[in-house]
């Protein structure tokens, strides 16, 4: 099922935007950058690993989907469910549009959690690490770092596939 979600406003936040708006806007920019790198890549290239570690564009999207849900929904809110598989295992049934839609749905859930948070210093319910639960500020900065790193991976994979560079 392919949905046509409206493209988010990806302009940078104003220079004097509040902290939460600034962090979320930069995170949304990076999230959409990863989706854009996988858009239009034909089968089987979108699922073919481009490096010996096995990383493909679809694998990156699946991994980031799980990471969003694990940090914001499972860890921060303490949702009563098992953690999502963050290995990014791509099945034969996965399509690029379905995986992108799932990532966007996870982003929407994560953003609801962020927007509901009134205090960036408040720790979440639990941690994905052997540490006390981190604050929302920490989770946002961590997700910016995580998503930026994988956006760089996606840049390289896409360039290897068809020479496409830039955002």
Dump pLDDT digits (tens) for 40-71: 999 999 999 999 999 999 999 999 999 999 99
4 part of a folded domain:
no
For the segment 7-31, the average pLDDT, to the nearest whole number, is 82
- Decide: residue 77, CB within 10 A, 0-12 exposed, 13-18 middle, 19+ buried: middle
Q: What are phi and psi of 135, to 5 degrees?
A: -75, 165
41 part of a folded domain:
yes
- What is the C-alpha to C-alpha distance for residues 73 and 77, in angstroms, rounded to an integer? 5
Q: For the domain that residue 149 is a member of, what is the CATH number?
A: 1.20.120.450
Measure CA of the first residue to CA of the last residue in the chain; give whole Å: 25
Half-sphere exposure in the Cβ direction for 125 (13 Å, CA): 12
CB of 34 closer than 8 Å to CB of 55:
no
Q: What's the total number of domains in the chain?
A: 1
For residue 102, give its domain range: 19-162
Please tell me the pTM assigned to this model: 0.91
167 part of a folded domain:
no
Nearest to 103 by CA among 32, 7, 29, 8: 32
14 part of a folded domain:
no
Of 10-24, 75-89, 128-142, give the range with the top mean pLDDT: 128-142
6 part of a folded domain:
no
86 part of a folded domain:
yes
């Amino acid at each position: 099922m392919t949905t046509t979600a409206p493209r988010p406003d990806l302009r940078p936040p104003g220079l004097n935007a509040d902290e939460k708006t600034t962090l979320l806007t930069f995170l949304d920019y990076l999230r959409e950058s990863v989706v854009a790198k996988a858009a239009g890549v034909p089968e089987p290239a979108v699922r073919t690993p481009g490096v010996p570690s096995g990383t493909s564009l679809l694998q990156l999207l699946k991994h980031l989907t799980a990471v969003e849900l694990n940090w914001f929904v499972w860890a921060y809110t303490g949702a009563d469910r098992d953690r999502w598989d963050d290995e990014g295992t791509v099945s034969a049934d996965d399509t690029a549009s379905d995986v992108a839609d799932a990532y966007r749905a996870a982003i929407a859930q994560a953003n609801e959690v962020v927007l509901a948070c009134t205090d960036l210093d408040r720790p979440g319910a639990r941690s994905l690490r052997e540490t006390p639960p981190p604050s929302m500020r920490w989770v946002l900065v961590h997700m910016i770092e995580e998503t930026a790193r994988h956006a760089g991976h996606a840049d390289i994979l896409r360039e290897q596939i068809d020479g496409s560079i830039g955002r």
